[in-house]
Structure 1
Amino acid sequence: MPQTQKPRSAPARAARATRGTSTKRTRTTAESESPPDEQLLDFYRRMVLIRRFEERAARAYTEAKVGGYCHLNLGEEATVVGLMSASAPGDYVYTNYREHGYALARGIAPERIMAELYGRTDGVSRGWGGSMHMFDFASRFMGGYGIVGGQIPLATGAALAIDYRGENDAVICLMGDGTTNIGAFHESLNLAAIWHLPIVYVVVNNGLGMGTTVEQASAEPELHKRAAAYRMDAARVDGTDPVAVHTAAQRALASARAGRPFLLETVSERLKGHSVVDPARYRTREEAEALRAADPVAAFAARLLTEGVLGEELVAEIDAEAVARVAEAAAFADASPHPEVSTLFDYTYATPVPNDSRRLPGEALFPAPPRPGTPEPTEVLA
């Protein structure tokens, strides 16, 4: 039978449904066995690379090399690395506009990401996506979305496709805390729950939706508790600890693959404003100083030093490597050409459309043909 005629009650979904949908909510911590030293070092290297990359991206923005909006993962490096390290190569990743770090941790080359920020042809989206709209199907990195929550129904649809085909992949759908207040969040979680879809919804709770605190915007500020309405398993985890996030994400993905969608809330703070142009005046000086003191990159380095995984020389070496790699990425982006206007429509649709980029303002992209019997317009004389 062709796939297009496959009944809604597919065997894969029926099998998932029999595995149960526990209503128990857990609070995941880092109590599990610590990963081997090699993996801890890999976590740290990736966190440092994201930190140095984002710092360079902010600098490039002030130099007018990056245009449009630009949102950074500064302060969220542990969450990013913990999540992506738990995912499998075949898993799909959907995120919002704060995406650079996830693209890096997913394995996309820094050169391609920086070139995309610069709007160059060697960028991951050929220069047309920019900071908020990166896409790389080879990595199953399905893009950042500028519309708040726009990725949630699409990610849910991807999970439905996986289930429909009987595959063992899963979807990771990332969002900020403010996104949990839109209708599509609840609609999608409800569908995922009743259809037993292989998806993990991750709420990166940094406590602020732009400048509005989560307590001001949400009647229940512990956002993982919203899963109870859909009898969905959920957990809350320290987003500044990559090991804790990694462990929680592994459990969440295992649950999703078994037909039990999962809501994972990671709690961390962003070190800067909502975007690079946000001065974050809603924070007091004391709050800003407390954030710097709780820097997750520095905290993880201190932990690895204490455990003997790192030495001071290796810390300096890893940082120097990251700085050099980011400098190479910036040089690569500078040398990459700008895209030709003639390519404007090349990657907009799966089926190419004519390049009408030079049409007059207000002129229709596809002018409607005249209806039969309609007289030709005549010139009106003054």
Structure 2
Amino acid sequence: MTTISDVARAAGVSVATVSRALRGLDRVSPQTRDRVLRAAKSLDYMPSPTASSLASGKTHVVAVVVPYVTRWYFAHLISGASQVLRDKGFHVLLLDVRDEGPNRATLLDSRMLFKRVDGVLILSLRLQQPERELLQRLQMPVVTVGVPDQDWPCVRIDDIATTSIATEHLIRLGHRRIGYVGGDSVPAMNFPTPADRAKGFRDTMGRHGLDVDPGSFVMGDWSARSGLDAGRELLSRADRPTAVVAASDELALGVMAAARELALSVPRDVSVVGIDDHELAELHGLTTIAQPVDEQGRMATRLLLSTVAGLPTGHEVATVPVTLVERRSTAAPPRP
């Protein structure tokens, strides 16, 4: 197996110079660096990640903490983050919580993080207090997505304003009897999103003097299956709503499926609007509030790598704009 000494002999330089050149450090001329890189390539030399991390104090690994790997939203956040990390020569340590019980086990510990990762990216999850204290004790760079935090930078959308845009769209079309299908919060995860989106709906209805019928306010688990169940419940009522705001596109697609089951036409009999701009939204003609999920993952990762590099980032909250995308699932309400 080729060693760093072999590369040094082939390039005619010291082992220390090879090490500096391969790690991109200063005090190596461009000509020497080029000679070292050519020698390493010709000898098929692969530097040891462990040795490099010991020498530089950096592991070039970022821990990504995510509640659910398989959900559309989180998969796209991870994809955006991975693109930036790969381009910058970093690796991903993926930590999938996946525990929906009321007392989630502590996920982060010092053995997992100390001298193993350079930073932590937390996706739409509030950490437990021992985990927060550990990260602060280790002085670990942290950036969150979706959950503003007083100690760390955050990238997010304004969930209250987002649902308000969806509700205003239906009110402008003339709807007054509007139902809501929201994603329920898992207590162990402590998501702020479900409560914020529900608040955006209630506040907007209140500003227009419109009542929110308790029977037309249904919570589910964010999935299309849950939206189907909620849609059956809402649209089977004698006083069914003429429109539905869904807290996610997957819930909205479930509501549209329930309408088809009940021989109701969308949007002639009921209008439906979602949030996200899921990749299936356009296929089904779903009006939605589009948020740039991949870009949020990229933004948060660039912010984290700036912190890892020692650049000041503060505790800023970067709020990403959203956009109403009108398709064929919304229209004026049916005439009495």
Common topology (TM > 0.5): no
Larger Rg: 2
> Relative CO higher for 1 or 2, CA cutoff 8 Å, sep ≥ 6?
1
More strand by share: 2
